[in-house]
A and B are shown apart, each in its own frame.
Chain A
Amino acid sequence: MYDVHRFLNAVFIYVLGLVILSAFSYQFIQGETPCSLCNLQRLAMIGIAVGLLMNLRMGIKIEHYGLSLLSALFGLFVALKQIGLHVCPQFPSYGEPVLGFSIFVWSFFVFLSSIFSLSVLIILFGFLKHKESPLIWNGWDKLAFSLIFLITAANAITSFINCRFGYCKGI
């Protein structure tokens, strides 16, 4: 059962990684620079992934889930704020919609489902007998870590090129 828990954490990280990767590739395809609020949402997704990676690396602990949950709440707030801004009719739209929804609306769904999934994982954790988890990384765990590390590094480089030391343009 404990291994299933680790497996679910790894799957969660892969899903988050793919979401950030798709947003990153969309940025290149459309030739648009991500706005400040979009970057904050990406950072919140990375924050969720960091909490889950801590579970894989240091053993499953409730405080790691707490960190992920706080990051998800932060991202949800930012996404909701951006949706609220774009609801105003005089406000200019930002970015092309994907499958009928803007990127920040999809991001809102991602954070909402992340909070749901994290809650389920915490409930599952409560049902398990607490034992020291082995600090051994298998290949999939290492791949998940590498994926998040590379995505973060790539975002750091592109955001530095686009925004330098100031704020990013657009909302």
Chain B
Amino acid sequence: MISSFYLFNLVVLFLLFQLKKKTAFSLAIINLIVLVLFLFLHEGASLMIRL
């Protein structure tokens, strides 16, 4: 699960190297949004387990 986020960052870096400006920037923003969602889902799941 976590390794897929690192892979996503590798794709962003590769696109950056290829000078795909808009795609790289959009993917970086999507990556950040997914990370935030992951954190909240992860915490929500642990809260449900505790309850």
* Contact between A36 and B9, CB atoms less than 8 A apart: no
A32 CB within 8 Å of chain B: no
Cα–Cα distance between A167 and B5 once the two chains are bound (Å)? 12
Main secondary structure of the interface of B (DSSP, over half): helix
* Contact between A163 and B13, CB atoms less than 8 A apart: no
Name the B residues within 8 Å of A163 (CB-CB): 1-3
Known A50-B16, A70-B32: A40·B39 in contact at CB below 8 Å: yes
A residues 14-66 with Cβ under 8 Å of B? 36, 39-40, 43-44, 46-47, 50-51, 53-54, 57-58, 63-64
Cα–Cα distance between A101 and B1 once the two chains are bound (Å)? 28
Cα–Cα distance between A58 and B1 once the two chains are bound (Å)? 30
Name the B residues within 8 Å of A81 (CB-CB): 43
Q: How far is the CB of A77 from chain B (nearest CB, A)?
A: 8
Name the B residues within 8 Å of A157 (CB-CB): 3
B residues 1-51 with Cβ under 8 Å of A? 1-3, 5-7, 9-10, 12-13, 16-17, 19, 21, 24-25, 28-29, 31-32, 35-36, 38-39, 42-43
A residues 117-171 with Cβ under 8 Å of B? 135, 145, 148-149, 152-153, 155-157, 159-160, 163, 165-168
* Contact between A47 and B13, CB atoms less than 8 A apart: no
Q: How far is the CB of B39 from chain A (nearest CB, A)?
A: 6
Name the A residues within 8 Å of B13 (CB-CB): 50, 53, 145, 148-149, 152
A71 CB within 8 Å of chain B: yes
Mark B residues whose CB is within 8 Å of A: 1-3, 5-7, 9-10, 12-13, 16-17, 19, 21, 24-25, 28-29, 31-32, 35-36, 38-39, 42-43
Can you show 13 pairs from A to B with CB atoms below 8 A apart? A36-B2, A43-B5, A47-B9, A47-B32, A50-B12, A58-B19, A71-B32, A77-B39, A145-B16, A159-B2, A163-B1, A165-B1, A166-B1
Mark A residues whose CB is within 8 Å of B: 36, 39-40, 43-44, 46-47, 50-51, 53-54, 57-58, 63-64, 67, 70-71, 74, 77-78, 81, 135, 145, 148-149, 152-153, 155-157, 159-160, 163, 165-168
